[in-house]
Amino acid sequence: MNETIDLLVVYHSQSGNTERLAQAVADGGCTVGSVVVRLMRAAETNADHMRLARCLVLCSPEYFGYMAGAVKDLFDRTYEQVREEMVGKSYAVVICAGNDGTGALSSIERIIAGYKLRKVQPPIIIRGDVSSEHIESCRELGRTLAAGIDLGIY
């Protein structure tokens, strides 16, 4: 696998909420034509995708006060293989939760600290029903990341 992935948007979703947010991030990224965007389910993402990605957006629902198991599984499957190649890459996080989201975010950030990625945008936590404003904020995140990639700063 030797394709380029500028912006890799990885998500898990059971009832579709996080998927809508992840799709919005990817749509926003696609507005900058030169940026190659890939939207992938965490379960289908492997070490090669992580290596190829220049900028990573992790989108997870909160389940039981933690990230989704499939997102944790991605870390479990790839950490040893990719950690040295991930140092300094840009990342952002989107959490979709019923009413909290802080447990999912902190669990992801704890693991990300081990990868030594660079947080380039503040995390987004969406609580409750996904609204058009939420979708727009995720689109905006995608646009901002893509613009930064295009400028060579992310």
Ligand X SMILES: Cc1cc2nc3c(=O)[nH]c(=O)nc-3n(C[C@H](O)[C@H](O)[C@H](O)COP(=O)(O)O)c2cc1C
Residues that bind ligand X (CB under 6 A): 13-19, 61-65, 96-101
Give the residue with the Cβ less far from ligand X, 54 or 127.
127
Give the residue with the Cβ less far from ligand X, 99 or 132.
99
Give the residue with the Cβ less far from ligand X, 64 or 152.
64
> What dihedral do alpha carbons 29, 154, 81, 78 form, nearest 10°?
-40
Give the residue with the Cβ less far from ligand X, 2 or 99.
99
CB of 28 to ligand X, least distance (A): 18
CB of 102 to ligand X, least distance (A): 9
> What dihedral do alpha carbons 3, 40, 107, 118 form, nearest 10°?
30
CB of 47 to ligand X, least distance (A): 24
**For residue 124, what are the CA distances in angstroms to 59, 127, 137?**
9, 10, 8
CB of 52 to ligand X, least distance (A): 25
CB atoms within 10 A of CB 101: 22
